[in-house]
Structure 1
Amino acid sequence: MSSANTYRENRFHGDKGSLNYAESQNTGTPMLFLHGVTRSWQDMEPLMSAFAGEYQVFGLDFRGHGLSDRFDTYLTLDYIRDAVSFISTRFNAPCVIFGHSLGAMVAAGVAAEIPESVAALILEDPPFDTLGANIFKTSFHPYFTALNELVAKHSPSECEMAQRLAELRFPSPDGKMIVRLGDVRSEEAIRFHANCLLHLDPNALVPILVGHWLAGWNWEAELHRISCPTLLLAGDSAFGGMLPAEVADRVTRLIPPAVRVDFKGAGHQLHAAQLDRVVEIVQAFLKRR
């Protein structure tokens, strides 16, 4: 995940620990990128590079991820509070937020909590109840269970972690077959994810596995409070997308200014599978707002 852009990494110090973040070395409207669970800010780097010419881009490592400190609790609400604190302290002007998966839920929570600080919102395949109380009905529970077991083994190197990660097996989205991760992801993607897992606090997965990840956060009530221009990018559930069509319908009803784009045939990692299309759609959206 290399780029000609240079990013400076810094620490944001909160009450109970510090978070690692990266920023481009230019000025402009701030644009914050928020990664998915088990990842790090570098997962969003290809997107950051696409917008670094027009915005000052930032990538935040969530608590327990990347180079950020480990914390005691890992609810979605905890991540939202961290991001609210970061934005309120670090930015002097309203920002654009692009969030993927967990990052999309956090972005929505921030826009609801401090609407005056968010100029526009891009939500890439937010899982909502799919990784909340409904996770036991999906193929994602065995996937995260396998990830949890892998992280708990404390692989000593990226190479060994990558080898183990490639051998992970879990049900396909339709539940009709067992999938080997190394057969559906590239070697580069496996190596990158392995590196992320080496830095992950295993406790970050616990709320997901027990179905409590969204505890204390009523996402439907919160979405209703969002007033800024919002773009929803929805993956295809048949290919691993985490936002079912009926939930995507609900999201667009709850956020009146929301624009929705469906990615047929693409799964959860839209910015990895169709980077150019995602960038083109987001650029057009930001120009129209």
Structure 2
Amino acid sequence: MREFFVVDGRKLSYLDFGGPGTPLLALHGHYNEASAFVPMAEALAPRWRVIALDQRGHGESDRAQRYERDDYVADVAAFHRRLGIGPVAVLGHSLGGVNAYQYAARQPDRVRALIVED
């Protein structure tokens, strides 16, 4: 299910594939979007509940004035807070991988496991 939330006046979009499984936050690569995780979400269900962010300027999320690492990481933190869930596994591909490990380094108490693939 596609959902939206607002951070600093910008709309961000995400796909929550649902289910009873352990939450897994997924961050796509550059020139991609959350829907890239559809096959993975289907393959991991029902053990994992994949929740994928359309990062700023991608998919159905608004474009931004800046695309600095701090901005991406702040968006991930806002996304995680929005979901209202505790520490999670975070998976990132390419651009999303850098954002995932930066988020984990800055918020180690919020990340249970980290998967970076490229």
Number of paired residues?
118
Alignment match, 1:68:
61
Instruction: Using the TM superposition, give the Cα deviation of residue 90 of structure 1 relative to its aligned residue in structure 2, in angstroms.
Output: 1.3
Q: Does residue 24 of structure 1 match 2:4?
A: no
Of stretches 111-120 and 46-55 in structure 1, the one that deviates more from structure 2 is 46-55
SS in 1 for 2:14: strand
Instruction: Using the TM superposition, give the Cα deviation of residue 77 of structure 1 relative to its aligned residue in structure 2, in angstroms.
Output: 2.3
Q: Which of 4, 12, 33 lines up with 1:11 in the alignment? A: 4
Measure, in 2, the Cα distance between the counterparts of 1:24 and 1:43: 12
Instruction: Using the TM superposition, give the Cα deviation of residue 43 of structure 1 relative to its aligned residue in structure 2, in angstroms.
Output: 1.5
Q: Does residue 122 of structure 1 match 2:112?
A: no
Measure, in 1, the Cα distance between the counterparts of 2:88 and 2:98: 16
Q: Does residue 54 of structure 1 match 2:52?
A: no
Tell me the TM-score normalised to structure 2 length. Answer: 0.92
Q: How does 1:121-270 map to 2 (within 5 A)?
A: 121-125=114-118
If asked which structure has higher relative contact order (CA below 8 Å, sep 6+), I would say: 2
Q: Structure 1, unaligned stretches of length 5 or more? A: 1-7, 126-289
Alignment identity in percent? 38
Measure, in 2, the Cα distance between the counterparts of 1:59 and 1:92: 14
Measure, in 2, the Cα distance between the counterparts of 1:45 and 1:97: 16
Alignment match, 1:5:
none
- C-alpha contact 2:101 2:116 (8 A) present in aligned 1: yes
Q: Structure 2, unaligned stretches of length 5 or more? A: none
Measure, in 2, the Cα distance between the counterparts of 1:100 and 1:33: 8
Deviations 1:209-250 (A, max 9, x none): xxxxxxxxxxxxxxxxxxxxxxxxxxxxxxxxxxxxxxxxxx
SS in 1 for 2:99: helix
Runs of 4+ in 1 over 6 A off after TM superposition: none
Tell me the TM-score normalised to structure 1 length. Answer: 0.39
Which one has a larger percent strand, Structure 1 or Structure 2?
2
Which one has a larger percent helix, Structure 1 or Structure 2?
1
- C-alpha contact 1:29 1:93 (8 A) present in aligned 2: no
SS in 2 for 1:96: strand
Q: Does residue 107 of structure 1 match 2:73?
A: no
- C-alpha contact 1:30 1:94 (8 A) present in aligned 2: no
Superposed CA RMSD in Å reads: 1.3
Deviations 1:167-223 (A, max 9, x none): xxxxxxxxxxxxxxxxxxxxxxxxxxxxxxxxxxxxxxxxxxxxxxxxxxxxxxxxx
